[in-house]
Amino acid sequence: MRTWLFNLHLYLALVVGIFVVIIGLTGSIVAFEDDLDHLFNPRLFHVEASGTRMQATDLFAAAGLAFPGQKIGSLRLPQSETQSVMFTVKGPRQAFLNPYNGQLLGTRDAKTPLQTIHTTHLSLLMGNTGRIIVASVSGVLLFLVASGIYLWWPLKRASVKWNSSTRRISFDLHNAVGIYSATFLVVLGITGITVYFDGEIERYLHQRAGSAPVSRNAPSVEQAGATRISADQALASAGAALPGTRPLSIVLPANAKASYLVIVRYPEDLTPGGRSWVNVDQYSGKVAGLQSSRTAAVASRTIILNRAIHTGDILGYPTKVLVSLSSLMLLMQTITGYYLWWKKLGNKLAAEPIRSRES
């Protein structure tokens, strides 16, 4: 049993090793994606606080002046006194404004290197086929962790003898890193698989609970002769509907039947995209629909929680660090595992001539 499990553990690891390296390396980066983006692009994201920030209506106007003839459909609002406003223009390109004076700070290709890394982590840049591969590799990873614990148990090696041979150090690292990171890798594996199936899981949970998902596209009630309320009024309505939240972004109505979409988040919601939103009727200013991460149906909150755990956003930087380090441990496991296999293979090949002569 033990020999069979060892061989299965070995050969499965050899097959998925390259995918594990890619997923682990990109996952360690994605955990800090927004932080790295701001760090590497201070010219676009950072401004000096000076006076009072412009209202959303004026920011839309400033964006329109910066790009005449283009329709500016949404704004990503500042989350601190020194953060810029971001929006998308034709190209597609991302543009950045100083929220204090409306000055254009610069533009860049909407497809950034960090976004490419994010997409690689999700789908290996292979669309739905890649997402299936990532989910499958996550399933294999769970088996490797479980079988690794079983194989580790008799020796219970949890330290590294650094003054030994390279092979012994690799063996110790493979065991020690594996056992210390096992719990975190199981959590990442389960939540990662759940992310792939979260649409199906959410629908199933809603059916079981007799609830229904909330649409982000609740329509406005058309009124003859009525004019559209301003973006500032829509933000005020959203804030009144979900007090205690901070607006993350606002999307203008796409047509006469659509509503404003205001994405917001509570202080405990540490995800970059926010998990709460309000649809505001573009004519009356009334709430057309909303979802609060605090009061959403259990099915929706389950998916929200799962994603927050997987990304490390659930407790902010402490859990981001754990997720990033755990992802990097996958690289260590793969490197040491391949090295041990290579040494074993080399020893086996070296012994072949001897056996041939003896026979």
Task: Write the pLDDT tens digit of every residue in 141-180.
Answer: 999 999 999 999 998 889 999 999 999 999 999 999 999 9
Asked whether residue 320 carries a pLDDT value surpassing 50, the answer given is yes
In angstroms, how far is CA 65 from the centroid of its own chain? 33
Residue 261's CB is within 10 A of a number of other CB atoms, namely: 23
Alpha-carbon span 336 to 330, nearest angstrom? 10
Per-residue tokens: 358: 């003896």
User: Is residue 255 in some structural domain?
Assistant: yes
> Above pLDDT 90, what percent of the chain?
91
Phi, psi (5° rounding) for residue 40?
Answer: -85, -10
**343 Cβ partners below 8 Å, 6+ apart?**
167, 170
- 272: number of CA atoms within 13 Å, CB side? 14
- What's the pLDDT tens digit per position in 55-93? 999 999 999 999 999 999 999 999 999 999 999 999 999
Asked whether residue 262 carries a pLDDT value surpassing 80, the answer given is yes
86 DSSP 8-state letter:
E
Asked whether residue 228 carries a pLDDT value surpassing 50, the answer given is yes
User: Is residue 101 in some structural domain?
Assistant: no
Q: Residues for the chain: how many in total?
A: 359
Residue 102's CB is within 10 A of a number of other CB atoms, namely: 16
User: Is residue 317 in some structural domain?
Assistant: no
Q: What is the mean pLDDT of residues 335-355?
A: 77
Q: What is the pTM of this model?
A: 0.91
User: Is residue 268 in some structural domain?
Assistant: yes
User: Is residue 221 in some structural domain?
Assistant: yes
Residue 283's domain spans which residues?
214-296
Tell me how many domains the chain contains.
1
The answer to whether residues 313 and 320 touch, using CB atoms and an 8 Å cutoff, is: yes
pLDDT of residue 344: 81
Alpha-carbon span 221 to 289, nearest angstrom? 12
pLDDT of residue 357: 47
Task: For tokens 């074993």, name the residue.
Answer: 344
Burial class from Cβ neighbours inside 10 Å (0-12, 13-18, 19+) for residue 345 reads exposed
User: Is residue 256 in some structural domain?
Assistant: yes
The answer to whether residues 327 and 318 touch, using CB atoms and an 8 Å cutoff, is: no
Radius of gyration of the chain (CA): 26
User: Is residue 25 in some structural domain?
Assistant: no
Segment (H or E) for 2:
helix 2-30
Asked whether residue 284 carries a pLDDT value surpassing 80, the answer given is yes
pLDDT band at 346 (very low <50, low <70, confident <90, very high): confident
User: Is residue 338 in some structural domain?
Assistant: no
Q: What is the mean pLDDT of residues 225-248?
A: 96
Q: What is the mean pLDDT of residues 324-343?
A: 94
Per-residue tokens: 219: 């329509």
Per-residue tokens: 14: 């050899």
